[in-house]
Structure 1
Amino acid sequence: MIFDLHIHTTYSDGLFTPEQVIDLAISKGLNGIAITDHDTVLGIEPAIEYSKKTRGLKIIPGIEFGCIYKDEEVHILGYFIDYKAESIINMTKQLRKDRVNRGIKMIQKINDLGMELTLKEVKKLSKKDYIGRPHIARALINRQYVTNMEEAFNKFLNRGMPAYVEKDTLGLREAINLIHKSNGIAILAHPGLLKNKNIIYDCIKNGIDGLEVIHSKHKREDFEFLFGISKGYGLIITGGSDCHGHIIHGDYLMGKYYINICDIPIMKGRI
């Protein structure tokens, strides 16, 4: 059973609704996907309900928490979480509120740089009460201040750039514990992108269950390095495209990076 375990929807910074994501997954021949929006679980229920009306695509309820740890962004994926648990609902509600406040500050910084950008036009590009840097980047593109997402981030929105604002996040251990408390499986997302690879071992010490070994931005050497660590420490090996709905090299990423869920007994059992 082929699963893409890293998918974003319009409920965070993806371009596709949960329904559109499912349609694309079916067209790619996938048996299942994990909905892993940033700091929110609001896209899970629509995905599950829509999947019942289609050809039985299996949906794993998930989330992706961002943490700041040792001056780096560290992302923790949670799979099979109880997305209706009070602890998850309360925390994600606060995180979404913090994201909106952060977005307002970043928009103000952009205006301070002599450009014009409003909260209203950024919100038009987002879903409900969620604002992420990609929404601000798309607004900058619409205003023709930049030509693409990469330029927007490199010039203004990345850490150290003039419009960047640090976000309020969960602590590393806090994120892992919250996932475990909601009966979930905690996985370190795209660890090959970390500059400080010692953070991987810190995550292991803090109870991470596995590593996202297969990822659209991992190089061959990343895969081999992470595969070795996973085997050495008895960690779960997962994989996913991290699809946000963009066309890259003529196609969507979804379905190009995946795992066979049958190779992960603890996950197959929950399916």
Structure 2
Amino acid sequence: MNEKRTLVIGDIHSGLKALHQILERAEVSTNDQLIFLGDYVDGWSDAVETVDYLITLKKTHRCIFIRGNHDELCVEWLRGANDNPTWLQHGGGATLASYNEADDKTKERHILFFDSLKNTFIDKENRLFLHAGFTNLKGIEYEYFPESFYWDRTLWELAQSLDPNLQKGNPFYPKRLSHYNTIFIGHTPVSRTDVAEPKQAANVWNLDTGAAFKGPLSMLDVDTKQVWQSDPVHTLYPDERGRN
């Protein structure tokens, strides 16, 4: 393929086998721009391998890596924070086990990767990419709490609650959504149990199709809206539980 595409990828959760599948199925080339929406770890057993692969991929492809809440929890632990029981219960246990096999140089390299992640990205078409959401009505540059970019769930809740017939320009259209042509997020699974596709509500697209649970990993062409998906990720790791 010679055309340049912008491809956005949902929450991986250490499902490296699923990532390989969608890159192959979409015939991704170095012409494509890849935007990853965060949560690279916590779920399946390939945490170290997933981060290693992403670091290598960045050397050969045009990649943008967004920060997810699980990435922030992981790097806090890598820096020496005490084990977080909630993190361990929500996929962190598999990540901890994966890093038990890693040497110090690998951990240092991964800390640098996590530190390099972006909270947000806006492209030339005024399309916003972030992991979770934001709360300030004026837009991301006015956000008081940067943690919202990778923890907030109210943006998706707001988008889903709108009357589908309500359009931009209507005085009742939420100001929070009006600043960007399209917003791409992950973070909140559209489904934990069924094979789901990326879902649009208002001008927000949610790419988290439950790869950490029983769903597939998904990738979307932001222009054509063509979707590529892996097999349900739990079928690629049959001896594991993921975040079930």
* TM-score calculated relative to the size of structure 1: 0.36
Which structure carries more helix by proportion?
Answer: 1
* TM-score calculated relative to the size of structure 2: 0.38
Which structure carries more strand by proportion?
Answer: 1
